[in-house]
Amino acid sequence: MTDRLRLNGHEVEEAFRRLALHMPGRTPNAKGPKDQPGAFRSVVACILSAQSRDANTALAAARLFAIIETPDDLLALPEAQLIGAIRPCGLYNMKARNLRRLAASLIEEHGRVVPRTRAGLMALPGVGRKCADIVLAFTFDEPVIAVDTHVNRVCNRLGLTCQTTAERTAAELEARAPDWVRADGHFWLIQFGKAVCLSQRPRCEACFLSDLCLWLKRQRPSTSRME
């Protein structure tokens, strides 16, 4: 059995080369996981998505954006009405506080303009690395590999990274991924995670990365040690 935790640099390059060959990558209508037009709506939707199913996030976002359009609208919204709108996504009291703080920060510190850098986005209330990278990749079209649940699982199974949290995975992936993969890397990995490297029953028998995958090697005895 293997005790390796990470693929080497050559193997990382080869894994991405195969992903680029087999996965469609960024499509013309790609709108990102939160499917929101504009940076402000994207940030708000990302905050709503924390520990929430996509369908519940979409419902909460639709209800909220039916009654607000700008940070000023959000800050002026009565608390009870704000909580009522976002209730479907859960953790609504905490998220309502973060949304109000976000709106105040955008108005008072950023001239109502969402920052275009990771550091600037992560300085906003309620915004972490995952949310910042999603906004950078899908709203500002920056070459950033955003790490969601699927990407985090795939990277740590294969051995592209070896981390315990999505934020740490994102930092390590940024350091290890070749420059040429950054524009489409998120799409290849998320598509691979949904089509092949499934959460409960990965389709290892149909996987074009099975010979590289460190997780799969740990599941199988190594014939090289059976002598």
Write out the DSSP string of 120-143. Answer: HHHTSTT--HHHHHHHHHHTS--S
Tokens of 159: 């051995």
Residue 205 neighbours by CB distance under 10 Å: 6
Active site residue 130: yes
122: enclosing H helix or E strand: helix 118-122
- Using a 10 angstrom Cβ sphere, with 0-12 exposed, 13-18 middle and 19 or more buried, the burial of residue 43 is buried
Active site residue 148: yes
Catalytic hit among 95, 130, 133, 184? 130
Residue 174 neighbours by CB distance under 10 Å: 17
Which amino acid, 84? Answer: G
Catalytic hit among 34, 95, 133, 148? 148
Catalytic sites, residue numbers: 130, 148
